[in-house]
Structure 1
Amino acid sequence: MRQPPMNRIAPDAIKAWRITAVIGEAILWLITIALFVLANIYNFSYWFGGAVAILSGVTTLVTVFLLPVLRWRRWRYEVFDQEIYIQHGILIVSQTIVPMIRVQHVDTKQGPILKKYDLASLEISTAATTHEIPALLEENASDLRDRISALARVDEDDV
């Protein structure tokens, strides 16, 4: 069995993922508040709103505080001359090997939350699918994009 890849994504990925989770959870909390308001207006029982509030609290704890740390611990990658080795997952750990000869193009992308922490995601496209290495330092993502592009070009010339 292969050793796990050595390189980790940036530690600030945890902060970026937490902000993204807070935005998603805010929608759930707005629905919870709306249920309480509707229960008050129409004199319904508060038990349904209370159940949704408990569910919202649990999902907030899990998605904001637990999952980003676990995701960061599992995300690893390594770029070799002939392949890219990616490992990710929390309960089910996925180990993917992308041969350089299959790489069609490499992109970096950066949304507003990643930009705040000087992070960027690297997308590696093959004919079958797209693989992503999320939340790399912006300069590392750019260097890695150029390196993979050069290695993919060399492999195509060898074929």
Structure 2
Amino acid sequence: MREVPEQRIAKTAIKVWKIQAIILSFFPFIATIALFILANMYDFSYWYAIGLLVFTVIEVILSVFIIPYVRWRRWRYQVYDQEVYIQHGIIIVKRTLVPMIRVQHVDTKQGPILKRFKLASLAISTAATTHEIPALREQEADLLRDQISILARVEQEDV
């Protein structure tokens, strides 16, 4: 088996993922509050609302305080002349090799949260799928985009 890729995404990705998890956690909390209100109005058991509250609290603890750290520790990548090696996953670690000869185009993208932390994601598109390396520093994402683009062009010219 190959060595683990050396390059890591930016450590501030942890903050970005925490903010995204907090934003997404508002929906279960709203549903929990609505269930408590409905239980009060229509006189049915509060146990459903309490169960949903317990589930929501566990979900928030996992998605805000635990998963971002584990996710950051597992995310690695390496760009070689012939391929891009990507490793990610929390429970199941996925290792992907993207041959340069298959790369059709490379994009960077940046939403409002990533922009706030001066980060960008790199998307590597092949005919079959798109592979993404999230939360790279802006300059690093731009350099990687250009490097992969040049390497992919060289590979296709050699064929």
- What TM-score range do you get, normalising by the shorter chain? over 0.9
Please name the residue that 1:133 is paired with: 133
The one-letter code of the counterpart of 1:136 is L
Cα distance between partner residues in 2 of 1:55 and 1:92: 23
Equivalent-residue separation in structure 2 for 1:49 and 1:157 (angstroms): 62
Q: Deviations over 1:61-111 (max 9, x none)?
A: 011111111100000000011110000001111110111111000000011
Unmatched segments (≥5 aa) in structure 1: none
Offset from partner CA, 1:31-58 (integer Å, 9 cap, x none): 0000111111222221110010000000
Q: How many residues align?
A: 159
- The 1-side partners of 2:52 and 2:139 are apart by 43
Letter in 1 for 2:55: L
1:22 matched to 2:52: no
- Per the alignment, residue 3 of structure 2 pairs with 3
Aligned position for 2:83? 83
Counterpart of 2:39? 39
Moved over 2 A (4+): none
SS at match of 1:24: helix
Q: Percent identity?
A: 61
TM-score, normalised relative to structure 2? 0.98
CA distance in 1, matches of 2:4, 2:36: 48
The equivalent residue for 2:65 is: 65
TM score, norm. by length of structure 1? 0.98
State the Cα RMSD in Å: 0.7
